[in-house]
Amino acid sequence: MTPLLSSTVKVVLRIKKEAKSKSNKLHVEKKSDGKDCVMVNHDALHIFPFDKALNQCATQLDTYNAVIGNGIDLFLSGYHVSVFAYGQTGSGKTYSITGIENQPGILPLFAKNLFEKISRQNLDSSVYISLSFYEVYQEKVFDLLASNRKPLRVRGGTDDPYVEGLIEVGVKDEDELEKWRRTGLLRRSTAATLMNELSSRSHAIFSLKVQREYENPKRVVVSRCFFVDLAGSERLQTSGGHRTNESISINKSLLSLQRVVDARASNEAFVCYRDSVLTRLLKNCFDGNSATTLLTTVSPLECYSSETLNTLRFASKAAQVIQQPTINEEFGGESIADLRELNNHHLKKIAEMSAQIETLKQHCASVESVQAPAVLELFQDESLNQWARLENGIKFCILQNQLAEYFFENDKWNIRAFAAGVFVNGIALTVNSSRQLDHGDILSYYERKFCAVYLDEKCDPNKFISYDRAKLQYVTAVYEKQKEEMTEEIIAESKQNVKDVRDSLENELVSLRKELDGVKNKLKNKSEDQKYALKKEYDMVESLINDTEDVKKNLNDAVSKQTAIFKAVKEETEEDKMMHVGIKKVYAELNNEKFVELYEYFADLYQSDKTADEIIGEFNRFLYSSKYVWKPIRSGVGSSLLQTAVFNTLQETARKRRSTYAEVSRGFASRRSVIADIIQKPSERPTSQPIDELVQSLSFYALTAQRGPDTEEELGKLNEIGILLNVCITVRKNFDVFIAPENFLTAASIQKKAASIVGIYRSIGSLDALAATAQLCFITPSIADISLDYCPKEILERVNCLRQLIESWINAVREDTLSKDLGNLIFNEIDRIIQSVGFLAYFLGRRVEITDPGVQNEFRKGIMSAVKDLTMDVPEILERCDGEKTTREKFKKLAATFVSEILKYVEQSFDEDFIFEVVRRAILIKENMITLTEDRAGKMVEKIKDLIKNIEKFSTFVNPSSIELLKDGLKMWQQLSYISAKPPKSRAKS
């Protein structure tokens, strides 16, 4: 590699042409060394040197010549070349780099001259050029050549960063390069701001890569040329505050770039390129191995004087950066021929896919191209509609299965069905039957595919039948027939159910009468005391016989009434008809796991190389295996009629007996009657139960409250942390109502509804208790003395947040929009409150016994949060005091070393005794040494001895080497304490 002579970054200034009169006076003066100096408002303090300064009259070609110079020769020779455009928003950066149609910018002119030079020097066979185009938007990298926009990851170490998955395209001429460049520009992030109607909201990086083969001697050089169009630096008040996040991100990355330039200009030994994605990717442009040019653009308007001065200062700093570019040789890389072959292969694939797209476009039915006679296949998205010209003998197939054939006979078009499931205007065709087709006929296949017959060329294609109209027309035709069939099935099912129930009731009556006769016989030979119990049993059996006879007698009438209601004609909406006709014949109940299994299996099956028959066979074997229990979709509707009829019958019986529904149904339930099987299934139980049951259930749940500590011994064990934690445990238990599968609207039983309502009230009440406890903590001396009153305040804020979440939960239940995420969010807030209690417990040194694993886990998280907060400065102390220049620094380093060594065991596992007896003591020693002077450090010796004594108790998991380290530290501490101790003041002689 042959190095160039040392040179600095080349800096060029371009002043934007402005029509406004109020402008800065930017005076350009040529110096004897060939450079241009720019003076702002004739102020000697504001003079900035440039390699070239272009005034407002400069053309695009002037700018290109000033910026590129001999850049093409350097690029083809193997040197890296970089061009940056830097300046405020709206100063002309993108215009200078890209240009417009009749005024091309630096990049298009560079591409034109590059390929002209390659052609002129006959380098086509030895040079391979590829490009990539990407942007950095809000610290994320997006490929502008990719069709889908997703962020890419930056990989590689400090020396060789790269973008993973970035598209790199080979180009052979200027036209191909220009095509890809325009593609990328269309996808770049831009937006209107107050300063610029088409402001770039990202940093765009266009990269050209050249691989050149040399024969004598045989070698390959690889060089890159970067064209970087930086987003403009801006102030929110001048660009508009509605794009705040973008402006902050842009200014942050530009600030990182300024730091890199400052560090390189000052020749600092270490330059941090990792502060920003931009500086990390463009490290090679400023680390010395690049011929770099900075084009700075400014506006002469006086209102932007501050931005102009900042731009000029940055440019003058960049001019001090020393670069030393070298020729970049590559060994073991791919040859030019291999690269061209690979690129041609990819281009061929792209061409094939484009041809397929064009073929599909020919079948697209947006509709001026439709020519009669034709069949139009309809889709809900009209852009997907396809048409096929009718030809004699053409067949309609699904998965290579022939369903129908179109044929021309007697000057008419006809259709013949080869399989079941073919409908014409809602009328099913039998297999091998045929029917004449007319213009506008709707064809349906398997009730899923819809087609329309187009025979009249005078018909406006734009007003032809849509998918929705075709489906509605089909549904209207088949609806009444299917509804009638379904009604007959349901009524037949209901009649069979009634017959079965009446037969079961008759058998139950026979059994009950025998039982009643048995009780009668027992009564004859019993004493008066024994007769009382038997008489009660006799009355109960007799009552149940009467209830059973009433139910049996009235059941037919009740079912007839429900059947009449069901058969009553009502006006159906279009949506009802659609749902009715589209309903499947069978269904299976799937949980999420089974559904995912089914989905993945079918996805793999349809992407396999199997034939259509093999796919259908696999489909049937898998779907109808024993894994899934299939049920008729309409089964149970007749049962629902019976259930409602039984419910109404029991209500009528209860009214006659002057009893309640609950009492009557309880009698059937006690005997395991067939009636109990009908009315006691939670998923099928009628919801309209008497209100007295709700009141009874509410009273029961209201009395079963959470028991608290009630003995003096229990109360004496509770401190402020214990009280807070007990209330938190109660809150957490009461809040289970918000993640229960059923709530006060969806619960199947009245008891569960009552439980849900009471649970909500309890949760609100426990929140009030938590708020009151947190407020009491404000005035607790132990908390106020160590300035931790912000912890109870945080708990109160989270309590208010929980109240708002409860209100949102109740509203979501009412509107039937409830999701599990809301319940999880409520519990997350509770867990954060418990963590705050753990945080507080550490500082107060309070240990609490917890039996609930979930509460214990969150409580420990709070303790560890306090430990992390108090030890985050340990690495900094160790680094700062590494030199040990003063005795105080030695003490600090020792204390930090103690903490660092002990923290190793905290990271391995959580031991509450170890935390409070060892870690807390070590941290207190470290905290005291931050404030104590070295002459008073001797007072800490006893505390260190206590620390060592306590850590020895945990010898089961603490390594002996750690204990020895603490003992050695104690000896050193004692020596330093002796040295730093102040001598006693001598008394003056009397």
Asked whether the beta carbons of 106 and 54 are under 8 A apart, the reply is no
What phi and psi values does residue 70 have, to the nearest 5 degrees?
Answer: -95, 25
DSSP secondary structure code for residue 420 in this structure: S
Does residue 93 have a known ligand-binding role? Answer: yes
Query: Cα separations (Å) of 375 from 386, 395, 420, 443, 453?
Result: 9, 11, 20, 9, 5
Query: Cα separations (Å) of 456 from 371, 373, 374, 467?
Result: 9, 7, 10, 19
Peptide bond connecting 217 to the previous residue in cis, omega within 30 degrees of 0 = yes
**Is 453 in a helix, a strand, or coil?**
strand
What phi and psi values does residue 673 have, to the nearest 5 degrees?
Answer: -75, 160
Q: How far apart are CA 891 and CA 420, in angstroms?
A: 92
Asked whether the beta carbons of 377 and 386 are under 8 A apart, the reply is yes
* The amino acid at 973: W
Q: How far apart are CA 822 and CA 818, in angstroms?
A: 7
Does residue 90 have a known ligand-binding role? Answer: yes
Q: How far apart are CA 802 and CA 808, in angstroms?
A: 10
Distance of CA 957 to the CA centre of its chain: 41
Q: How far apart are CA 675 and CA 577, in angstroms?
A: 35
Query: Cα separations (Å) of 72 from 75, 241, 324, 910?
Result: 5, 42, 17, 64
What phi and psi values does residue 210 have, to the nearest 5 degrees?
Answer: -115, 130
In b/e form, how buried is each residue of 659-692, taking b as 16+ CB within 10 angstroms? Answer: ebbbebbebbeebebbbbebbeeeeebeeebeee
**Is 723 in a helix, a strand, or coil?**
helix
What phi and psi values does residue 275 have, to the nearest 5 degrees?
Answer: -70, -20
The CA-based diameter of the chain, rounded to the nearest angstrom, is: 147
Does residue 426 have a known ligand-binding role? Answer: no
Does residue 969 have a known ligand-binding role? Answer: no
Does residue 94 have a known ligand-binding role? Answer: yes
Residue 590 makes CB contacts below 8 A (sequence gap 6+) with 598, 628
Q: What is the DSSP string of 516-573?
A: HHHHHHHHHT--HHHHHHHHHHHHHHHHHHHHHHHHHHHHHHHHHHHHHHHHS--PPP
Asked whether the beta carbons of 446 and 421 are under 8 A apart, the reply is yes
Q: How far apart are CA 683 and CA 361, in angstroms?
A: 52
Q: How far apart are CA 841 and CA 863, in angstroms?
A: 7
Asked whether the beta carbons of 633 and 589 are under 8 A apart, the reply is no
Is the dihedral angle over the CA atoms 114, 120, 124, 125 positive or is it negative?
Answer: negative
Q: How far apart are CA 563 and CA 285, in angstroms?
A: 84
Q: What is the DSSP string of 122-135?
A: T-TTTEEEEEEEEE
Q: What is the DSSP string of 928-956?
A: HHHHS-GGGGGGGHHHHHHHHHHHGGGTT
Peptide bond connecting 853 to the previous residue in cis, omega within 30 degrees of 0 = no
Does residue 218 have a known ligand-binding role? Answer: no
- Is 418 exposed, middle or buried (CB count within 10 Å of its CB: 0-12, 13-18, 19+)? middle
Q: How far apart are CA 11 and CA 296, in angstroms?
A: 7
Residues in the chain: 990
Q: Give the chain's end-to-end CA distance (angstroms, integer).
A: 86
Of 114, 111, 127, the C-alpha closest to 211 is 127
**What's the token pair of residue 638?**
């007749």
Q: H-type helices in 636-690, by residue range? A: 637-656, 661-670, 674-679
The binding site for ATP consists of: 87-94
The binding site consists of: 87-94
